[in-house]
Amino acid sequence: MAVFVLDKQKNPLMPCTDKRARLLLQRGRAVVVRLHPFTIRLKDRFGGETQPLRLSLDPGSKTTGIAVVREVERIDPDTGEVRREAQVLWLAELTHRGAQIRERLTARRAFRRRRRTANLRYRAPRFHNRTKPQGWLAPSLRHRLDTTLSWVNRLQRLAPINSISQELVRFDTQALQNPEISGVAYQRGELAGYEVREYLLEKWHHTCAYCGAQHVPLEIEHIQPKSRSGSNRVSNLTLACRSCNQRKGNQPIEAFLAHQPERLRRIQAQAKAPLRDAAAVNATRWALFEQLKATGLPVTTGSGGQTKYNRQRLGIPKTHALDAACVGQLTALHGWNIPTLAIKATGRGCYQRTRLNRFGFPRGYLLREKRVKGFQTGDRVIAEVPKGKKVGTHLGRVAVRASGRFNLQTATGLVQGISHRHCRVLQRADGYGYAFTPTQTEAARPVG
C-alpha cells in the first residue's frame, strides 16, 4: 500500500512505496505526520511533479469503499482504441455507524415521550408544527454523507487528486421500470442484463421463488408468462431454478401454485413491493454527488451493474474497496492485490453524562472531562510496561479511567489496568478506529 507524502509546506506530493518511505525516515529526510493513513512529510523539498490521481467511491448502506488510483490512457496503435487503465495505490473501507445512531435516537425518543407523558400529560402535542428544510436527511443518513465527505476532504489534503468517480446508483430505478430495458437481451445481454439481474438477486434473496432452492443457478422468469400478455417490467420478473422454470412453462402462476396458496400470496406481494430501499440509497448518493461537485473537481459516475460487470470481466474479488476501484469506464486494473485499511466510525464521545437503566433513570455518572492525565478515549498509544503481569509492549486504542489506569484494546485482545505513566500517544483520537485487512492472496492462503 502506498504511503502519502507531503512537502515541507504540507502540500501533497505523489505517494511513494513503503520501502522508499522507510529509507527517507531512516536517513532523516522525512518525519511521520500520521499513522493512519500513514503519511510522511519531507524536510528538504518544496513542490514537485505529480501525476493525475482519481478518487473512487462506492457508497453503501453500512460500508463505503474508497480507492485512490493512478489513471493511464493508452491508444492501441493498430485499432486506435483508447484503453483506460488504472493502477491501484490505496484502498480503504469506511464502516458507518448509522444503525447505532438510529437506535440511540429511538431510545432517546422513547425516554422523552415517557417523561412528557408522566409530567406534561396536559400539554398540547407539537408534532404537526415541525417543518424540515429542503434537502433534509435523517441523522443516520446524514452521518454517512458527512463521514464520506470528511474522508474525501482528508484525502485531497494528502494526495494530488484531480478527479472523482462515484457509483451513483446501484439500481437505475427508472431504467428498471422501463418495459424496454430487457427485450431479447434481458437474460443474456451484457450491461443491461447485469442491472436487472443484480436487482432481482437482491430482491429475491438469491433464492428460487417457487421451491426456495439456494446456491443453484437461477434464471430470470416471467411471473405472468409473455404468451399470456405478461410484460418485461421488473415487477413481473422473478428468479427460478431450471427445473421450476421448465415445470411452470407458460402456466399462470395461480395454476402453477394452486396447491401452495401461502407461497402464491408471498410471491405476489413481494413482486409488487416498491423500489423503496433502492430509492432511499439513491437519495443519499445523489446528495453525495451534489456535495462532490461542490469540491470543484470533475466528477464521473457509474452504476452498480457497470461496476459488477467490470469486476467480473477483470476477475477481481468482491470487496467494497475493489468495487470502488472498478467504478466507471475501465479497461484494465493493476496492483489491486494490496492490504486494505479498515476504517470504523466510532464517534468523538457523547454529551450524555450518565448511564440509564431500561426505564430511563440514571444509574451512574460519567467523567466531566474528556482527558485524563493528557489522554482521552480513542487515542492510539503505545504502552511499555517494564514489569508485572502485563510486562511488554502493547499498541492499541486506549479507554481512559479517572484512576489513571487505562484499558488498551490491542490486535490480540483487551489489556486492562495499564498505568498512564507507561503510555505514549502515537495519534490523537479523530473519531475513527483503524485496522488492516490482508491481501486477497494472504486471505486465501491456508493456515498451518
Coil, strand or helix at 35: coil
Q: What is the CATH number of the domain that holds 209?
A: 1.10.30
Convert 125-147 to b/e letters by CB count within 10 Å (16 or more is b).
eeeeeeeeeeeeeeebbebbbeb
> Do 207 and 103 have their domain in common?
no
Residue 133 lies inside a defined structural domain of this protein: no
> Do 145 and 183 have their domain in common?
no
Beta strands, E only, 279-400: 299-303, 332-334, 340-345, 354-356, 362-365, 371-372, 375-376, 380-385, 392-399
As a whole number of angstroms, the distance between CA 65 and CA 55 comes to 11
As a whole number of angstroms, the distance between CA 237 and CA 126 comes to 45
Model pLDDT, residue 125: 67
Coil, strand or helix at 259: coil
Residue 127 lies inside a defined structural domain of this protein: no
Segment 329-348 mean pLDDT = 90
Measured at the CA of 216, the angle between CA 267 and CA 235, to 5 degrees, comes to 30
Segment 16-27, tens digit of pLDDT? 999 999 999 999
Last residue of a domain, one of 30, 50, 70: 50
Asked if the model's pLDDT at residue 179 lies above 50, the reply is: no
Residue 418 lies inside a defined structural domain of this protein: yes
Residue 309 lies inside a defined structural domain of this protein: yes
Asked if the model's pLDDT at residue 312 lies above 80, the reply is: yes
> Do 66 and 166 have their domain in common?
yes
Q: Does residue 378 come out as left (phi exceeding 0), alpha (psi in the -120 to 50 range) or beta? A: left
Model pLDDT, residue 17: 92
- Residue-averaged pLDDT of the chain: 84
As a whole number of angstroms, the distance between CA 219 and CA 390 comes to 58
Split into its structural domains, the chain has a count of 4
> Do 99 and 150 have their domain in common?
yes
Angle between helices 139-158 and 98-119 (to 10 degrees): 140
> Do 94 and 217 have their domain in common?
no
Q: Quick one: cell of 326?
A: 472498478
> Do 84 and 192 have their domain in common?
no
Model pLDDT, residue 9: 92
Asked if the model's pLDDT at residue 126 lies above 70, the reply is: no
Residue 44 lies inside a defined structural domain of this protein: yes
Segment 321-346 mean pLDDT = 91
Domain containing 226 equals 176-271
Nearest to 55 by CA among 63, 43, 46, 64: 64
> Do 211 and 340 have their domain in common?
no
> Do 157 and 294 have their domain in common?
yes
Segment 45-64 mean pLDDT = 89
Pairing of strands 30-34, 39-42: antiparallel
> Do 78 and 215 have their domain in common?
no
Segment 217-238, tens digit of pLDDT? 888 888 888 888 888 777 888 8
> Do 101 and 199 have their domain in common?
no
Residue 448 lies inside a defined structural domain of this protein: no
Model pLDDT, residue 448: 46
Residue 43 lies inside a defined structural domain of this protein: yes
> Do 236 and 314 have their domain in common?
no
As a whole number of angstroms, the distance between CA 65 and CA 286 comes to 17
Residues 289, 302 contacting (CB under 8 angstroms): no
Model pLDDT, residue 171: 57
Last residue of a domain, one of 294, 312, 347: 347
| Dihedral sign from CA coordinates of 8, 14, 17, 20 | negative
> Do 58 and 153 have their domain in common?
yes
Residues 90, 37 contacting (CB under 8 angstroms): yes
Pairing of strands 354-356, 362-365: antiparallel
Residue 123 lies inside a defined structural domain of this protein: no
The model carries a pTM of 0.76
Torsion, CA 386, CA 392, CA 394, CA 398, rounded to 10: -40
Segment 441-447 mean pLDDT = 53
For residue 224, the tally of other CB atoms under 10 A from its CB is 17
Q: What is the CATH number of the domain that holds 74?
A: 3.30.420
Q: What is the CATH number of the domain that holds 379?
A: 2.30.30.520
